[in-house]
């Protein structure tokens, strides 16, 4: 077997499909015979999870009335935001139209859900439409709580103020690049970090710090720049083996890291940031700061009764079974993607593994059988360490590394092939997933 054959044969991980080439991206699609039903299925959200589910279910179910609700007419390819914020892509790289990803035989309503009553199986939209459902798939993703950062608002992002907020939107990721470009040219203190809540793509704050350090080095300005990474916990990454590797790289590259430092507020006039720490507040001066705020379930979900009552109470993630992704108290409700209250899996790569599980349980139930598929916590994050180098870290609920290409791509090595996965292959795989083909 050649190296390429071996790569092609591996389908385990998120990127397996892309490495195999576009022609192979039809696994599962259209193979199983469609199940007849007139069930009303409502999908709240048409992002990574919602679009993928709409495509899969419209193929698997014949006659189902599938409605997709999403008030944002633009689809955002969020893994691309990191590349945009590092000046490697323009904002439009991460933007497409929501509608283009949805199948023809469903109803798309370009409104948000404003109220959800899971006892009555009913959702009311922002435009006042009432939609009743037999099955609900919650795919709303999460909201970024910018207001939780005292003294900050998104109008401050840009080179004039030295502020980056690359999670906010494709446009603000591009504006963030201009701030990073200025900092890595002129020098000064750069502050990076992550919030204390659960968050999507927990590797993204680290990636941005590594990219900035690399860009400063390439420009010949490294000596003028100081890099400080503020972790919210007693580690730099929640999976111990990845934490040790990230720490090693930060040590090698003279990036200062601090534990249990959570951004509380900024003072634009003084150009300072305040962090809460176990020893009390700490205030630092900055020339560049990347702000990533606390992340929570959208308000409509927090108020719906679907959230956990005794876990993540300030965040509102929904109470699904970690393996089946079915709601613990409302069995006709499933959660996909970032909204789920499970210990891992807030990545697009995880969504790919959520899709077949929900599909299996939902279609089985409609057909009068019991679903058997299980989600094991698969989470993946191509951890960029420099332009042209990344580590393809993949892991499960138990912090086991679950490499897609065992023996071929070492997960903790900084490799060009892993960089290509992020820079080139990830988008093709993501798009295939949206179409229900991965």
Ligand X SMILES: Cc1cc2nc3c(=O)[nH]c(=O)nc-3n(C[C@H](O)[C@H](O)[C@H](O)COP(=O)(O)OP(=O)(O)OC[C@H]3O[C@@H](n4cnc5c(N)ncnc54)[C@H](O)[C@@H]3O)c2cc1C
The residues that touch ligand X, with contacts defined as CB under 6 A, are: 44-50, 69-72, 78-79, 81-82, 112-113, 139-141, 166-167, 200-201, 204, 298, 300, 337-339, 346-349, 351, 380-382
CA 137 to chain centre: 18
DSSP H or E segment with residue 81: helix 81-85
Measured from the CB atom, the residue of 49 and 341 that comes closer to ligand X is: 49
Measured from the CB atom, the residue of 138 and 249 that comes closer to ligand X is: 138
CA 253 to chain centre: 27
Contact 307, 316 (CB under 8 A): yes
**CA dihedral for 324, 329, 335, 341, sign (positive or negative):** negative
Query: Closest CB to ligand X belongs to which residue?
Result: 47
Instruction: Please state the closest distance from residue 181 (CB atom) to ligand X, in A.
Output: 18
- Say which residues have a Cβ less than 8 Å from residue 246's Cβ, sequence separation at least 6: 206, 236, 237, 383
Specify the 3-state DSSP secondary structure of 363: helix
Instruction: Please state the closest distance from residue 76 (CB atom) to ligand X, in A.
Output: 7
Measured from the CB atom, the residue of 35 and 131 that comes closer to ligand X is: 131
Instruction: Please state the closest distance from residue 370 (CB atom) to ligand X, in A.
Output: 26
> What is the pairing mode between strands 61-62 and 40-44?
unpaired
Measured from the CB atom, the residue of 211 and 249 that comes closer to ligand X is: 211
- Say which residues have a Cβ less than 8 Å from residue 247's Cβ, sequence separation at least 6: 236, 257
Measured from the CB atom, the residue of 48 and 136 that comes closer to ligand X is: 48
Specify the 3-state DSSP secondary structure of 164: strand
d(CA 293, CA 311): 20
Instruction: Please state the closest distance from residue 277 (CB atom) to ligand X, in A.
Output: 25
Instruction: Please state the closest distance from residue 85 (CB atom) to ligand X, in A.
Output: 7
Measured from the CB atom, the residue of 271 and 302 that comes closer to ligand X is: 302
Instruction: Please state the closest distance from residue 227 (CB atom) to ligand X, in A.
Output: 19
Measured from the CB atom, the residue of 324 and 347 that comes closer to ligand X is: 347
Instruction: Please state the closest distance from residue 371 (CB atom) to ligand X, in A.
Output: 21
CA distances from 417 to 43, 166, 252, 344, 425 (A): 36, 25, 22, 25, 10
Measured from the CB atom, the residue of 82 and 385 that comes closer to ligand X is: 82
Measured from the CB atom, the residue of 144 and 363 that comes closer to ligand X is: 144
Measured from the CB atom, the residue of 141 and 294 that comes closer to ligand X is: 141
Contact 23, 430 (CB under 8 A): no
Which of 169, 190, 170 is CA-nearest to residue 180?
190
CA 363 to chain centre: 26
d(CA 254, CA 355): 41
Specify the 3-state DSSP secondary structure of 127: coil
Instruction: Please state the closest distance from residue 68 (CB atom) to ligand X, in A.
Output: 9
d(CA 430, CA 339): 18
Instruction: Please state the closest distance from residue 342 (CB atom) to ligand X, in A.
Output: 12
Measure CA of the first residue to CA of the last residue in the chain; give whole Å.
24
Measured from the CB atom, the residue of 20 and 426 that comes closer to ligand X is: 426
DSSP H or E segment with residue 183: helix 170-186
Q: Residue holding tokens 């991980």? A: 13
Instruction: Please state the closest distance from residue 269 (CB atom) to ligand X, in A.
Output: 28
d(CA 374, CA 366): 18
- Say which residues have a Cβ less than 8 Å from residue 220's Cβ, sequence separation at least 6: none
Instruction: Please state the closest distance from residue 226 (CB atom) to ligand X, in A.
Output: 23
């Amino acid at each position: 077997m050649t190296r390429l054959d071996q790569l092609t044969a591996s389908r385990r991980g998120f990127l397996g499909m892309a490495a195999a080439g576009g022609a192979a991206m039809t696994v599962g699609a259209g193979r199983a015979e469609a199940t007849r039903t007139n069930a009303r299925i409502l999908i709240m959200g048409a992002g990574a999870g919602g679009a993928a589910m709409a495509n899969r279910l419209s193929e698997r179910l014949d006659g189902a009335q599938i409605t997709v609700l999403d008030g944002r007419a633009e689809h955002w390819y969020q893994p691309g935001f990191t590349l945009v914020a590092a000046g490697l892509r323009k904002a439009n790289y991460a933007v497409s139209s929501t509608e283009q990803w949805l199948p023809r035989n469903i109803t798309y309503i370009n409104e948000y859900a404003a109220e959800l009553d899971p006892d009555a199986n009913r959702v009311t939209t922002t435009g006042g439409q009432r939609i009743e459902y037999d099955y609900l798939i919650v795919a709303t993703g999460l909201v970024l709580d910018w207001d939780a950062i005292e003294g900050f608002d998104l109008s401050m992002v840009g080179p004039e103020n030295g502020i980056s907020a690359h999670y906010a939107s494709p446009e603000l990721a591009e504006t963030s690049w201009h701030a990073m470009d200025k900092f890595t040219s002129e020098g000064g203190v750069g502050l990076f970090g992550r919030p204390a809540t659960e968050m999507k793509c927990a590797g993204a704050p680290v990636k941005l710090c590594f990219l900035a350090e690399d860009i400063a080095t390439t420009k010949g300005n490294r000596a003028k720049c100081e890099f400080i990474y503020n972790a919210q916990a007693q580690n730099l990454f929640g999976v111990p083996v990845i934490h040790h590797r990230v720490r090693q790289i930060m040590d090698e590259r003279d990036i200062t890291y601090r534990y249990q430092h959570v951004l509380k507020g900024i003072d634009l006039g003084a150009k300072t940031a305040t962090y809460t720490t176990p020893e009390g507040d700490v205030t630092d001066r900055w020339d560049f700061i990347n702000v990533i705020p606390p992340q929570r379930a959208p308000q409509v979900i927090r108020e719906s009764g679907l959230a956990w009552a005794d876990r993540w109470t300030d965040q509102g993630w929904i109470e699904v079974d970690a393996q089946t992704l079915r709601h613990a108290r409302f069995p006709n409700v499933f959660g996909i993607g970032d909204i789920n209250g499970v210990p891992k899996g807030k990545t697009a790569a995880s969504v790919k593994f959520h899709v077949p599980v929900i599909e299996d349980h939902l279609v089985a139930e409609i057909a009068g059988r019991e679903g058997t598929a299980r989600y094991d916590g698969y989470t993946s994050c191509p951890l960029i360490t420099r332009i042209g180098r990344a580590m393809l870290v993949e892991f499960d609920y138990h912090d086991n590394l679950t490499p897609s290409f065992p023996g071929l791509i070492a997960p903790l090595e900084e490799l060009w092939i892993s960089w290509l996965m992020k820079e080139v292959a990830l988008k093709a795989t993501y798009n295939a997933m949206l179409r229900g083909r991965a």
